[in-house]
Amino acid sequence: MADAFENILGQPQVREFLRASVISERVTQAYLFVGPAGSNKTSAAYALAQALMCPKGPHGPRGGLCGACDQCGRIARRKHPDVRYFAPEGAAGYLVEQVRDIVSDTALAPIQSTRKIYILDRVDQLGTSAANSFLKTLEEPADDVVFILLARTRESVLPTILSRCQVVPFRHIPASEAAAIVSQNTGAPPEQARIAIEACGGSITGAVAFLRAPDNERLAFRTRLFEGLFRLPYADDWDVIEMAADVVKAAQAPLDVMRENQEAELAENADFLQKSALREIERRHKRQLSAKTRESLRQTLSLTRSWLRDGLMLASGTPELVINVDVIDRLSEVFAGLAPAPLAAAAAKVDACERALAYNVSPETCIDTLLFDVREVLHGSGSTD
């Protein structure tokens, strides 16, 4: 029978380990999930949160793994006030003040449940000073607190953090297997599954969400972005500026739906929650919007990177490795006669844009600069017609 852990795609050993831990009540209070990008660590963290928060309990009719009750549904939609996700807020990683806020928050009572789950992404960016603010709480958390930390490798995590956690390794999922999993879960053809995976930085869960977006909104955004990139050889400076503004606006379109849902949630809870609890929901909403903004912009850069990567495959004489096969004819036209070196240089500009966004540079400024840089590298200064 399906349960919350079925959402941990491509990780059968992790799925069985976590399921067995919950059923046998061998759950620890600090986990460290380690694995490459796209290995579904975040999905696994939320699945574990569902299992731990499910009111039916480990000895209920479905072993506390229902994944279908109101509590489980809120966690799956990332709307539960007692399941909190954090990512580094500083350009160089977690801020000491950010970690101190997390530590202070653990001392507060849960809002709607009997326990609280803290999911901390990219803890390899938890520096020594920030870690020192966190260690005592991680070593001796309150009885109603569980930490789930995420990182790419064990070696990248400070030993003082590593030694206090139950480490759960996640395997690399080969590209062909990842595409098959996405196809199975969405009904999309393998070619479209590969496109979605590339657009989501290798994340299977992200690719499934990409293809399931209402009204094919994400696929429509990809088409819109690619149309702009294909026009770059003929764009003057003003065209590029308008294109950047359009891309940023379209990338952030899902935020409008999220804001509407957040306002509805606040209205739903306004009559029975204390002001402090409502303020916590508002803070969570702000974090969610920030995370969604980063996700949308990263997706924009991943799509641009995949477009350039396909150009590099064509320039290298390996068209069979092109990902965006639905536009291969137009790719061939745009990249005809180009050598691999300028394409690699253009891809480096995407990486530079991603680093600038991490330093909280204006998204429009970053995309603006990126489009100018890509145009310059690939086509010179642009059309003067």
Q: Residue 246 — pLDDT band, cuts 50, 70, 90? A: confident
Amino acid making up residue 295: E
pLDDT tens digits along 136-175? 999 898 999 999 999 999 999 999 999 999 999 999 998 8
At residue 350, the pLDDT reads 93
Contact 75, 49 (CB under 8 A): yes
Out of 71-85, 229-243, 244-258, 354-368, least confident range: 244-258
- If one counts every other C-beta atom within 10 angstroms of the C-beta of residue 14, the result is 23
Positive or negative, the CA dihedral 323, 329, 330, 335 is positive
Q: By the 8 A CB rule, do 338 and 307 touch?
A: no
Is the model's pLDDT at 61 over the cut of 60?
A: no
Q: Which residue has the higher pLDDT, 277 or 352?
A: 352
Averaging pLDDT over each range in 61-70, 87-96, 329-338, which range is the top one?
Answer: 329-338
Q: What angle do CA 273, 77, 100 make, to 5 degrees?
A: 65
Cα(120)–Cα(8) distance, integer angstroms:
18
At 252 the pLDDT is 72
Residue-level pLDDT at 254: 63
pLDDT score of 275 more than 90: no
Q: What is the pLDDT of residue 364?
A: 85
Residue with tokens 């500026």: 241
d(CA 22, CA 6) in angstroms, rounded, equals 14
Global pTM?
0.75
Q: 205 φ, ψ to 5°?
A: -60, -40
63: pLDDT strictly greater than 60: no
For position 298, what pLDDT does the model report? Answer: 86
User: Per-residue pLDDT for 377 more than 60?
Assistant: yes
Helix (H) or strand (E) holding 30: strand 30-34
Q: Is the pLDDT of residue 130 over 50?
A: yes
In the DSSP assignment, the letter for residue 40 is: -
**Domains of the chain, earliest start first:** 4-169 (3.40.50.300), 213-379 (no CATH)
Q: Once rounded to an integer, what is the mean pLDDT over residues 53-80? A: 71
Q: How confident is the model at residue 219 (pLDDT cuts 50, 70, 90)?
A: very high
Which residue stretches of the chain are H helix? 12-23, 41-53, 70-76, 96-106, 128-139, 159-162, 175-186, 190-199, 204-212, 217-231, 237-251, 254-269, 275-315, 328-334, 340-358, 363-379
Residue 361's pLDDT is 79
Output the furthest CA–CA distance in the chain (Å, rounded): 73
What pLDDT, on a 0 to 100 scale, did the predictor assign at position 1? 47
Mean pLDDT of the residues in the chain:
86
CA distances from 98 to 89, 107, 134, 194, 281 (A): 7, 15, 10, 36, 17
How far does Cα 161 stand from its chain's mean position? Answer: 23
**Order of strands, edge to edge, in the sheet holding 116-120?**
83-86, 116-120, 145-151, 30-34, 166-169
Q: Which residue has the higher pLDDT, 293 or 382?
A: 293
- CA angle, residues 322, 327, 333, in degrees to nearest 5: 90
